Amino acid sequence: MPVRTGKQYIDGLKSRPRDVWLRGKCIRDVTSHPAFAAPVRQIAKLYDMQHDPKYSDILTYEVPATGKRAGTAFMMSKTVEDLRKRRDAFRVWSEATFGMMGRSPDFLNTTVMAFAESSDVFGRIDKRFQTNVERYYEYVRDNDLFLTHALITPQIDRSRSSFDQADEFLHMGVVRETAEGIIVRGARMLATLGPIADEVLVYNLPGLKPGDERHAMAFAMPVDAKGIKQICREPFDEGGRSSYDHPLATNFEEPDALLIFDDVLVPWDRVFLHNNVEVANAMYVDTNLRNHTAHQTAARGVAKLQLAIGTAVALSEAVKIDGFLHVQEKLGECIGWLELAKGCIVRSEVEFETTRMGTIRTAFTPLQTLRAFMQRTYPKVIEVLQTLGAGGLLMMPSAADFASPIADDVAKYYQGAAGMPAEDRVRLFKLAWDLAGDAFGSRQLQYERYYAGDPVRLMASNYQFYQYKDELKSLIDRALLLAEDPKKIGKSA
Ligand SMILES: Cc1cc2nc3c(=O)[nH]c(=O)nc-3n(C[C@H](O)[C@H](O)[C@H](O)COP(=O)(O)OP(=O)(O)OC[C@H]3O[C@@H](n4cnc5c(N)ncnc54)[C@H](O)[C@@H]3O)c2cc1C
């Protein structure tokens, strides 16, 4: 199958009923439930864009092995132009959702590409696993599937390892091996877009301890496989609110779910890693995963910063606070963060690294810096938006007031500076509220803080793995040579 259309994606969801639980009810067909209508529509739009002549050259490429077109995120890179094409594709999809849908299909398409590009890491345990990774990449690419992923164990007792929890299978683990595959039991938390995905990819982030062998695993399964259950968080929007009042929340809410595996059989050809703590811990660093995924998340993060900062600028102009020096200082700082982020992306492409396979990948340091930096920068931008929007964010009328007996009052008292009509000013402040105040905005903030892992440990790893430490030190050594021997100075004084 060449790249899918939105309709093919939706038909695929319908044809594979799943166990998605929301407020105590099981929803088998997510396409017909209001809580999932908006994200399904948005993902479908992204698939349709692959067929739009305006975008298709950016969003797709011809796969040399098949002669068919696939999503650009699946493309391995040989040149800087290839890396730029990848970034352009990330940008086009991110701008379509204003960066609000962090786990659009290109994120995990990139992940499976990065795994296949460094499949030898999986081969360290078993050559079969290496082949499985390569075949799975081709399968996802050639069928243009939409994946979710679930890496994090549930927060039951963070002071204990997985094997040491009250029940060994609270954190997902392998119960036993059979001739057909491995039997997996337990939970993983927070599969964003899981309810409306085709498949789930499970692997570990580093941190497993000796004893965690049965928790060291990587595999992929269709989300409708027997024994897989998803428990959704309460939705913020279920179709009852107007897009005037909540322009972002009514369009871009990504459902999040806890994934439970009730003794699920993962066939051997879907197993990529099993029973090896050392390789599970090394996987993140030794594959090309972190380089390539950080490229996608950086491009997406820039789109989101642009929307948030653009909203802060427009809001300031709307009520003419933009002439005050402290407002300009705040906006200037936000703009500086945005431009630094764009600079990191370009640097990661120009200073590319060559992989063991002879392909290239974006440089790690600028993207790692950006990944850790965004966790702290986005909340600061939102704080600027809250500070500048102030009480105006809260006193906005609703869409219905514009066509009611109080319409004249609304038109009069909600107008902006320089004759800005109330309808436009309120629309702008509603956008700002979705970003900075609504439950949707709170999730977006929490997403940026946590999607790449714990901000504390991530920032510390910026120091731990900094690749230019020796350069820093040699500079210091040279500077220290400027200081004379204190004993000599003491004698001559
Ligand atoms: C909106 C949203 C969407 C997400 N989507 C996905 C997704 O699609 N797929 C996915 O796999 N994950 C996803 N995540 C999960 C994300 O990867 C985790 O939230 C993140 O890795 C942090 O883990 P945690 O939430 O369990 O926090 P914890 O690790 O439990 O941390 C909680 C607090 O305790 C501290 N702490 C805990 N353990 C330690 C320790 N050992 N050492 C030092 N400090 C510690 C942390 O510093 C932190 O302040 C998402 C998260 C959010 C918020």
Residue nearest to ligand 1 atom 48, measured at CA: 454
Choose which residue among 104, 111, 146, 158 to substitute to test ligand 1 binding: the one with the highest number of ligand atoms within 8 A of its C-beta: 158
On the 0-12 / 13-18 / 19+ scale of CB atoms within 10 A, 450 is middle
Report d(CA 433, CA 410) in Å as an integer: 18
**Mean pLDDT of all residues in 35-48:** 97
Residue 9 has pLDDT above 70, yes or no: yes
For 288-475, give the CATH class.
mainly alpha
Backbone φ and ψ of 110, nearest 5°: -65, -40
The model's pTM is 0.96
Residue 490 has pLDDT above 90, yes or no: no
Q: Report domain extents, the chain.
A: 6-284, 288-475
Q: Which of 404, 405, 398, 427 is nearest to 415 (CA)?
A: 427
User: Which amino acid, one-letter code, is at 337?
Assistant: W
Virtual torsion, Cα 61, 62, 68, 72, nearest 10 deg:
-20
Helix (H) or strand (E) holding 186: strand 181-192
Q: Which of 427, 449, 322 is nearest to 384 (CA)?
A: 322
Strands 19-22 and 228-232: parallel
- How do residues 307-335 score in pLDDT, each as one tens digit? 999 999 999 999 999 999 999 999 999 99
**Mean pLDDT of all residues in 7-26:** 97
Residue 301 has pLDDT above 80, yes or no: yes
Helices (H) and strands (E) in the chain, counts: 18, 14
Q: What is the pLDDT of residue 488?
A: 87
Averaged pLDDT score across all residues of the chain: 96
- CB distance 343 to 369 below 8 Å: no
Q: What is the pLDDT of residue 1?
A: 63
- How do residues 89-133 score in pLDDT, each as one tens digit? 999 999 999 999 999 999 999 999 999 999 999 999 999 999 999
Q: Which of 289, 304, 284, 293 is nearest to 374 (CA)?
A: 304
Order of strands, sheet of 147-150, starting from the edge strand that comes earlier in the sequence = 147-150, 199-202, 217-222, 271-274
Q: How many angstroms is it from 456 CA to the middle of ligand 1?
A: 10
Strands (E) across 195-292 are located at 199-202, 217-222, 228-232, 256-267, 271-274
């877009």: which residue's tokens? 193
Domain 6-284 sits in CATH 1.10.3720.10: no
Structure tokens at 425: 């000013």
């606070």: which residue's tokens? 321
Instruction: Locate the ligand 1 atom nearest the alpha carbon of residue 158 and give its number.
Output: 38
Helix (H) or strand (E) holding 447: helix 439-450
Structure tokens at 183: 């039997």
- CB distance 210 to 27 below 8 Å: no
Structure tokens at 293: 């995924």
- CB distance 208 to 279 below 8 Å: no
Choose which residue among 152, 160, 281, 378 to substitute to test ligand 1 binding: the one with the highest number of ligand atoms within 8 A of its C-beta: 152
Report d(CA 13, CA 9) in Å as an integer: 6
**Mean pLDDT of all residues in 438-444:** 98
Backbone φ and ψ of 48, nearest 5°: -65, -35
**Mean pLDDT of all residues in 455-463:** 93
Q: Using a 6 Å cutoff on CB, does residue 197 contact ligand 1?
A: no
Q: Using a 6 Å cutoff on CB, does residue 149 contact ligand 1?
A: yes
Q: Look up residue 152 and give its DSSP letter.
A: B
Q: What is the pLDDT of residue 350?
A: 98
CB atoms within 10 A of CB 289: 22
Residue 458 has pLDDT above 70, yes or no: yes
Under the banding of pLDDT at 50, 70 and 90, the label for residue 155 is: very high
Cα dihedral sign, 233-239-240-246: positive
Backbone φ and ψ of 126, nearest 5°: -160, 130
Q: Using a 6 Å cutoff on CB, does residue 450 contact ligand 1?
A: yes
Q: What is the pLDDT of residue 239?
A: 87
Q: What is the pLDDT of residue 259?
A: 97
**Mean pLDDT of all residues in 416-438:** 98
